[in-house]
Amino acid sequence: MYGKSTSVWKKMGISLAAATVLLAGGTALAQEAQPDNAISNWLGKEFTVASSTLNDHMPTGGKLTFIYDGSDDVIRICTRTVPNQRAPWKMDFSTPCGVTMNFTRGTRYCTVDDVKTGNAEVLSQCHRLRSRDVAMRPAKVKGTVELNDMIAFPMVLDNGKKGLAILVDSPARVTEGGTVIITIP
């Protein structure tokens, strides 16, 4: 009788150990990377390109959604074409969720004026998303692709809605090239 009792306890011990391992594994899966709270309110919402001085980079009227990909710890930009946008999405933006950005936490949110001014010291204090080597339009030299750096600054607009200002290239050069403003309609 004593031998059977020991066998039952061994089986229960093994079952409890297996259950503990499974629970610990489930907890590890549940702890997948999460987006930073400073950007989370901009994720999963569809934005519209409201204005752009760079219409050949991002078409006015086009729709974008920023989503968090926890497996790669990046923000993906997913575009959608709508009938009233100025032009189709091109190059990397024409690929579903083909552009990825990395989030950098700053000390505050920028304003539209901060972004348009282009002061690198001010912009370095702002929350921002950055992507390097994005093909947005064909290059002027036939057979080549123009790669751009993109910086997106999440903003709370005057009307209280969420928006983003996007600079293309580096802040030092972009102030000459223009800004893309996207908003929630």
Which of residues 7 and 100 earns the better pLDDT score? Answer: 100
Whether residue 78 is found in the same domain as residue 57: yes
Maximum separation of any 2 CA atoms in the chain, in Å? 88
For residue 171, pLDDT over 90 is answered with: no
**pLDDT on residue 134:** 87
Same domain, 19 and 89: no
Tens-digit pLDDT profile for residues 4-49: 555 554 554 544 444 444 444 444 445 667 888 999 999 999 999 9
Q: Is the dihedral of CA 80, 82, 84, 88 positive or negative?
A: positive
173 or 56, higher pLDDT: 56
Structural domain that includes position 54: 37-183
pLDDT at residue 129, as a whole number: 95
Residue that is written with structure tokens 């391992």 in the block: 21
Distance CA 111, CA 114 (A): 5
Regarding whether 57 and 11 lie in a shared domain, the answer is: no
2 and 77 both lie in a single domain: no
Number of domains in the chain: 2
pLDDT of residue 17: 46
Q: Based on the domain organization, do 135 and 170 belong to the same domain?
A: yes
127 shares a domain with 50? yes
Instruction: Give yes or no: residues 107 and 73 share one domain.
Output: yes
Answer yes or no: do 84 and 147 share one domain.
yes
**Pair 157, 69 in one domain:** yes
pLDDT in tens, 104-152: 999 999 988 888 888 889 999 999 999 988 888 777 778 777 788 889 9
pTM above 0.75, yes or no: no
The more confident residue out of 66 and 5 is 66
